[in-house]
Structure 1
Amino acid sequence: MFVKLKYLFCAVFLLFSTSKLNAQQNFTLTGVLFEKGTTLRIALAEVKNKRTGFSAGSNDIGLFTIKASIGDTLLVTKRNFSDLQVVVKDTKDLVLYLNKGTMLNEVVVTGQTKKQALNEIKKDFRNKGSFYGGKPPLALLNPFGGSPLTFLYELFGKTPRKARRFNTMYQNEMQDSHVDQYYNKTLINQQTGLSGKELEDFLVNYRPTYDQAKNWNVYDGIKWINDSYKKYSDTAGKAKSN
């Protein structure tokens, strides 16, 4: 009887110890975000646990809560601020400070520079006499006030034909540049940790279309990357199990 009670006590002790250990490993972490060098709190920042892939946002007074374990790495991102990575060392509340940054602004400037260069080419076609980019309006066929010769030139002329092909390319380039602002290697690496061939494959396989991204802001792009990464991870996990 004593031996049975001894084994029962050991089993209860092990169960309690395991539960306590799990509780210590996974806990709710609370933190607050400030702009560095000020007392201004940062709202609407994203805090991502890179191990679990789960994210949380800071509220109007800069507070956030997220599930974490000791040793996890948190990635904090906010538009116009430099990204911050911090390792969870204990269960104490975090006070974090973000520096002002310009990475996203630089991405926008790059896209704007490309647009300016392409607009110079469009201007060159107009200087060469193609005012309608190879797509003349039907109003030009009106013999009273129109210009049938201009219509025919825009439709069949060599320069307008080149302008027509260029305008198709121009539209595609502008749409690609818009998507690139919110979906690029830098952002994907920051959100997922992918690199090398895995990053290249993810970049191609989960790229959104222009219609999907045309009304996005930076947070929509981050959400798309995180949602896509979950699909990517689930697919990779199933492939390994098979």
Structure 2
Amino acid sequence: MRFLFFIQILFFLFTTTSANAQIFGDSSLVKVSGIIVDSDSITPIPFVNIINNRTNKGTISDTNGFFRISILKTDTILFSSLSFEKKPFHLSDTTAASCFFKIIMNNKNYKLAVVNVYALSKQSQFRYDFVHINLPEHLYIKGREIYVPGIPNYDGPRNPNASPIGSPVSFFYSKFSKREKSIRKLNKLLKQDSINYIINSKYNEKIVYELTGLKGNELIEFIKFCDFDNHYLLKNTEYDIYTKIIQKHKNFKSRKTLPKKQ
């Protein structure tokens, strides 16, 4: 009996330790951020799908190609976007807890079959041909009418409760909800990490180099030109900072190309 009781205690301690390791073992997570660019033009690629192969979850890049995701060092993430080749990515053993990368994606060419285009003389002819099109059997739904939006004199069913796609309400909701999420995320980081760590993770020489390509003295001169204070770096998100760096870089280049006064 004592032996069985001893085994039960060991089992309880083992399961408790494993649960704690799962709950508090997030120290192995790496905060990966970066920018995704086209290999030909080196321009940012928006709305790239970024999927963690282990969890099958991920995120997408924003309109300026920036992204951020937290993964384990052993994870592999897959970048994919229409008209670009898929790009797998994994971290090295020496990767820090927070890092910034420039992801370069190659264009993908699609070979399309020949498409014949015919002009229809009248709108009524298009309506008739469209409604009476011969669909494959597996795509045909028995008893389902076809509604052609914008075509007059058609008595097919209409859905009065259908909401328009891309309406102004949905646009503003999406825009401001993302802003609120970004602010909440920043507040959470402020509680977890020290001020210096947060600043360095969002703004350092490596990030500026990846965004601008500047090196050496020119890089140091540009950082002085940006003159970001700690309050600005803490208050704003990575997206706002990176966008500001790109704008500052344009001003920096134009200032250097101005002809000197005689």
TM-score of Structure 1 vs Structure 2, range by shorter chain: 0.3 to 0.5
Identify, as 1 or 2, the structure richer in helix.
1
- With the length of structure 2 as denominator, give the TM-score of the two structures: 0.34
